[in-house]
Every structure is written in structure tokens, then in C-alpha cells.
Structure 1
């Protein structure tokens, strides 16, 4: 975060999650740890700067992959590529020996035929096989961290990869090998992550989703100190002002940084930074909500009603079943309140959902479940347009 790039450490949170993964707390994450929080609230930064080092200190082998990093690549390929890269580290010594002898392939633990000219896993290799070999050659528990895991639901290959990871988990955490593999999944939407755990046909049925703790006042105090060290003594930010601004931008560090840069650069040596900061934060929030309003006004009454019912379900922690009698009735009731024709039916709602997907307001999982593309839009829908 400008003016410098300080690293705010969340050591206590990392230690708590590591203890949970180790089975040292009352919560059992052996089936998988699912952490949900909105985008740009610091999840990926925490994973790389805090959780991964904490795992290393425990003597574990963390493997990190971000499914958001390349949305044009099948999630299954991204996951296998990350595992392949981790395996390659342990192949180094064997690879050099083999290449000196003019050999391009060697058998790794008589399980995988590894081709050193290719970065991916060998063709036909399952994720369970690859993770089992990685665990064996490393001699460590593997912590596979999948950031923005909900993108795995966008393709059949990604969903199959989730089932493959479940199989690997079951294989490596049984018998005399209870500590072979732990899985950590993060997502920017609790509703989307829920598509991995809520139904019996989903790969991690029965696992729970944990809200990822947003950055707190200690982060605000840290950032205040960093920025004030670059400003004149007569031109200082106040912690309470930054706390107010941080809350208004959804506790998103990058957005707070932009506000601070605009205020500090624009004011120079002026004194009333706090008041202008609060104005800037309000303007930012108004700008975000203005984008929502613009998208909302472009929708048909039926599309608005469907989106409103989805928002209500999301904020209430309830699943959205688009074609149930209750949902159709709720959509029609919303239309009546809008003084529009109550024309919700299965075909009409399907058309509305298709249109909302095209406008990138609604997301559809590979198995047909729907969720808001931007989870924070639910708050505006309930508190703003529907107030």
C-alpha cells in the first residue's frame, strides 16, 4: 500500500488456523478448511505472507494455487500444475543424475513416469497419485491451499478435480498416515463456496464454511503510523478517521490506500485531513453504489425481482432454489410491490437468470446452482434499492 509497501503481519490468525489444521483445537478441519470473505479484503496477502510461512515453520509443505490468476485456464490444470511444480523441486537431484546419463524419464517411487521436458503432471496421473508421491518424497504433511476455489465449479474438469482432491484426502489421512494432506479453500463468495459442501452429491459435503476475519483496527493503526511517518507533524491522519474510511470502503486495503493517496497528495500541507478523508470515503461508497444502481436500472422488472430474492436469500444465509414454489411466489410478490405484472414462472425465471448471467450479475455453478456474482451487491439491493 503506497506510499511504501509495508507488510502487516497477521501472525496470531495464522497460528490459530495452523493449530486448527493440526487438530489441536475443538474444530475439526480434516475434511477441509473453507474460508470466505469478499474480494480484495486481504485473503491472498494473508495466505502468502502469513499462513504459508506458518505452515513451513510447522514442518509442513504448503502448495499454493490461485484459480483467479488465469481464468482462461481450466482450474484442474492450474491445480495439477501447482502440484507438478512442487514435485519438480524434489525431482531436481534425480533429474540432474538422469540427464547426465542421457535419460529424459525416470520412474518416481515406481509410481509416476516423470518427463522432465514437461512442466505438468505426467499424462494419466491422478491428483491423488501426485499428492501421495509428493507427501512421500517430501516426508512432510502437504497443505494444498486453493485460493478462489469457487472457480473450480465453472467447468466439469474443475469439479472433477475437487472430487479427486477429496479422494486424495481420504487416501492420505487414513490408517497409519493420519497427517498426509490438509486442504484449504478460500472464496470471495460464501454462496459459491457453499456449492462444494452443502449437498450430498457435492465433493466436500458436510464441511463447514468459516468467515475469514476481515482486517481490524490493529491494521488501521498500523497504516496510520506508516502514512503519518511521511507527513508533516501538523498534517497527520487520525486513527478514528481512517477506521471510518476503512469501514466505508468495505475494509479493503487497496481502496483505503487510494483514498489516502488522493487526500494526502491533494492537500499538501493543509490541516483538515480527517474531514476530507471522510468525504472521500463517502464519495467512494456513493460511486460503488452508483454502479449497482446503473446496472439495476438496466434490468427488466422480472430480472430485478429475481435478483432481489437472491439477495434476500444470500443475506439470510439461505440457499437460492430458483424454480421452487416458494421462490416463484416470492418473486411474484416482489413484482407486485413494484406494481409490475407477477409473471414469474419456471421458463420466465430461467430467461431472467440467463440475462443476469450475460450481464455478469449472477453466477452459475457447473451443476446449476446460482449465486450473486458480487456478494456485496446484496447489501445494496436490500438497503438501497429495496428500502
Structure 2
């Protein structure tokens, strides 16, 4: 039985671990925020490379994917992941809680820890739980929150982010304990940035780091693995494969989908490059067509708002819809779409945003920040 293809990025994982340890080129000891479009391999990298690298460093990784259950409150998912990890070390936790040094982890003896419930006991916080995990294992804890922007969808999720910041500060203070490292990933830079751009957000001032997209090395390894399963006279060319990979935005799943399409109409080797290119263009056109149909069905003001959001997203500026400068940008686009239209008021822009939210084109955080639901639409708008 052939094993599924997995491309490892151990060098990248090692460099990020060095950064979390504070010895890399970039210091991630206070938090790491990685962003790249969906389906570009972030989650696979976290599970297959970063977590094993953390384990090799003698650390205790805790992983939670906020996209895994969109109906659950993000704070509940984070809590469950930490409690589950505590359960993995139940004997050490029990021993610690019975020891005289329990006060060192700021957990009162009056708190009853029943880890079988999957929840924190009344009176205990996320900070308490992470401190307990660090003390019980004697290791540096690395909490990895995948698709962290979903925490901004509720007050409880936002409060969980503040609790994680408090835990980081408590565990890293003075350097006497193993410590805590926080890793947040997001498929939308604009959404993830809401955690760091504003003074009222928990990680104000932190940097957003672009997650490196898969490149030629991945394509060459994937092509080699694929060709090993094919007749020698019917191999894919790695350059043709790379061109198709670029057309689908460096997304491994979409490249695999194209290969499956090509397999259904498999021709001789000289035709494989043409088949790859045609199917890659078809994928791209299908995506662009979805954006086009969605956009063209909108009223002029909603179109103008989206264009302004796309412009500011590309400039990596936070979208402040009711500021004079933003209203001027929206008005500029509106005049191009409808020369007879009146300059929009803040109230009309608010209504346009709410309508776009109802259509699931625009996202709003629990505290009123706006971003495009799909970052790919910003790319399409700026291209067109």
C-alpha cells in the first residue's frame, strides 16, 4: 500500500522554533502571527512539521483549529484543547495539585479539577490552566491556534485572546519558568490583523508575518512522487506542473484536483502539459467567475465599498469605513460606477456594509472591525 504524499518543510519549522526560542533572526518569543490564503498548506505544516519540531525541542505543543467547528464558540474550543492536554498528563497534574508547592502555579486548593468534563472548573481561567500544564510537565508550552481570526467573532472569543495574553505574561515573567509561546495563524491577513492593529486589542503592536507559500521544491517533489506511479512513457513535466501550480495560487489541493481531472482524460506524455494548463486556467476562471457574478449583482454603493476595501487591503491598511478619507475613496469609486450618484454618507455606507455582511461577502468582528470575507476577492478586484 502506497503512503499518501506529504511534503515536509523541516528547515522552515526549525527556523520558527528558533524564533520562538528567541535565538532566530526574528524574535517570536512574545507571539507569532502567520497568515496566508486558505488551502495553501498552513495546517498541514503545523501538524506535520511545526508540532514535531516543538516536540523535538522538548516543548509541549497544544493545537486547536477554530475552523474545525464553526458553530462552537472559539473560547470553548481553546479551553477544550488545553483541558485535553492536561488530561494527557493527568498523573503529573494530580501529583502537583497535591504537593505543597501548588500555590506556585496560582491554583487554589479549593478548585476541584475534574479533567473528564473537558471543561475548566469554576473559578479557573485559561491562564491558570496553562500555568498548571507548564508546571506539571516542566516544559515550555506552545499554544497553536489555527484560523485564530474566528476568535474575533464573539466577546467570549476576544476575552479568550486577552486571557492568553495574560497567561503569556505570567508564564514568561522573570524567565524562571519554562514559559509560554503563542502561535496564531489566519487565512485572512485583514482579519488576523485585528488582533494587533488597535490599542484595545490584546496583541497590539505585534507583527503579522506572511507564511511562505510552497514553491518549486514542493512541485518537484510532488511531480517525482506522482511520476513514480505512472508509466515511464507518460510522465508529467515539473515545469508544466509548476505553471499549473502558480495558476491556482500555490494551493496543493487544487493542483491535486487538476491532476485528477487530467487523469480522466489522460493522453500521451506530449499532451500532459497542455491538459494541465487548460485545467488550471479552467479552475482559475471558475473562481474569477464566482467573484464576477457576485460583484455584478450588487448595487453601485456596495460595489464601491468593496473596491475601497480591496484597495486598503492591498495597501495593508485597516479599513476605517467612516473616516473622511475612506468616505472620499468610496465616493471616488461610486462616481466611476454612477456619475450621477450623490456622495455617500456614513449612514449609507453603514447600511451597505450590513447588507454585504448578510450576503456573507464582508466580515465584521465582535467589536465592529470590517474585512472582506474572502481575501481572494480583493485580489480579483484589484486585477480587474
- TM-score, L = length of structure 2: 0.93
> Deviation string for 1:339-374 (max 9, x for gaps)?
341341111000100011111111101111101111
> Which consecutive residues of structure 2, in runs of 5 or more, have no partner in the other structure?
96-106
Residues 22, 111 of structure 1: alpha-carbon distance in 2 compared, 3 angstrom cutoff? farther
1:140 paired with 2:142, answer no
Alignment of 1:97-246 (within 5 A): 110=109, 112-177=111-176, 179-246=178-245
Deviation of 1:154 (Å): 0.1
- 1:374 is aligned to 374
> Which consecutive residues of structure 1, in runs of 5 or more, have no partner in the other structure?
97-107
- 2:360 is aligned to 360
Residues 248, 342 of structure 1: alpha-carbon distance in 2 compared, 3 angstrom cutoff? farther
> Aligned partners of 1:377 and 1:202: how far apart in 2?
26
- C-alpha contact (below 8 Å) 1:67/1:146 kept by paired residues: yes
- C-alpha contact (below 8 Å) 2:234/2:269 kept by paired residues: yes
> Aligned partners of 2:130 and 2:92: how far apart in 1?
19
> Aligned partners of 1:225 and 1:128: how far apart in 2?
47
- C-alpha contact (below 8 Å) 1:37/1:43 kept by paired residues: yes
- C-alpha contact (below 8 Å) 2:147/2:186 kept by paired residues: yes
- TM-score, L = length of structure 1: 0.93
> Aligned partners of 1:91 and 1:364: how far apart in 2?
39
> Aligned partners of 1:240 and 1:360: how far apart in 2?
38
Deviation of 1:92 (Å): 4.3
> Aligned partners of 1:171 and 1:95: how far apart in 2?
22
1:337 paired with 2:333, answer no
> Deviation string for 1:211-261 (max 9, x for gaps)?
000111100001101111122222111111111110110111100000011
Residues 324, 187 of structure 1: alpha-carbon distance in 2 compared, 3 angstrom cutoff? same
- C-alpha contact (below 8 Å) 1:302/1:343 kept by paired residues: no
SS at match of 1:272: helix
* Superposed structure 1 runs of 4+ greater than 4 Å apart: 92-96
Aligned pair count reads 373
- 2:88 is aligned to 89
> Aligned partners of 2:381 and 2:348: how far apart in 1?
21
> Aligned partners of 1:51 and 1:221: how far apart in 2?
22
Residues 275, 4 of structure 1: alpha-carbon distance in 2 compared, 3 angstrom cutoff? farther
> Aligned partners of 1:74 and 1:110: how far apart in 2?
29
- Which protein has the bigger helix share? 2
Structure 1 stretch 341-350 or stretch 3-12: which is displaced more?
A: 3-12
Alignment of 1:254-333 (within 5 A): 254-267=253-266, 269=268, 271-333=270-332
Deviation of 1:198 (Å): 1.1
- 1:99 is aligned to none
Residues 94, 288 of structure 1: alpha-carbon distance in 2 compared, 3 angstrom cutoff? closer
SS at match of 1:368: coil
- 1:104 is aligned to none
Deviation of 1:268 (Å): 5.0
> Aligned partners of 2:108 and 2:240: how far apart in 1?
59
- C-alpha contact (below 8 Å) 2:151/2:161 kept by paired residues: yes
- 1:102 is aligned to none
> Aligned partners of 1:327 and 1:336: how far apart in 2?
14
